[in-house]
Structure 1
Amino acid sequence: MKRRHEQQAISEDEQIARYAYLLGNVPASIADKAYAAAFARLSAAQRPELLGQLRSQLPVAPKEPASDDPEAFAVFMRDLYARDALVRVRGAGAFAAEFVASPPIVAYFTAGAGSVAMEQQPLWVQELAGHETAPIDGGRMHHRHGVDTSDLPWLGN
């Protein structure tokens, strides 16, 4: 039986690092959906507060007014200045955690293109997607019971 790793509190810096890693490793369309999903999970009071903090960090104010619509927020976050500002605002770690655990990110690594190379992903991404790595098997070729490999000399039986 496999033992699960104990859940440990993840620091804000680690949450932001995970967010940055995923942002660099998922397609823009997945990032857009993850931004919208994470923003939608914020309360009605948290949305304008986050938008205000982001706008105050930008070198030039956006042309369009702030909107608490999750889809509009995703479009707003396509701007590299907005992404840079996001990691510097109060509560960035909490938002980053919502982004990382959002359904679009999980789906990308569970059934989407990200699942193809799951073994190359960090352990926390594998755990996020519910992927469990195979244990070291001491060199056995296959694990199916009932398969006779005694007549295969290259297996060293």
Structure 2
Amino acid sequence: MSRYVYLLGSLPTSVIEKAHAQAFKDLPREKRRELFEELRPFLVEGEQAENDDNDLLARLVRRAEERRARRAVDTGGAAPSGGESAALDPRDGV
């Protein structure tokens, strides 16, 4: 996990997002929409709430992964998996 956190912190966000966008390119639209709905809590003000394009999905996945990695480090390696934590912050369940 520490290596993954290191990579998230050391690679430019553009590289991380480009890799994710490439992966999403081949997903059927229905799957992209499902993924977008799961990642909706990571939208920030000003982003289109109904857009499931590859670049936006890549940005949302990067944010979710960074958050998950930080939470894993903060909890000693055990990333939250829903439950009580998810009730406090819906992003923890993603």
TM-score (norm 2): 0.48
TM-score (norm 1): 0.33
Between structures 1 and 2, the one with greater helix share: 2
Greater C-alpha radius of gyration: 1
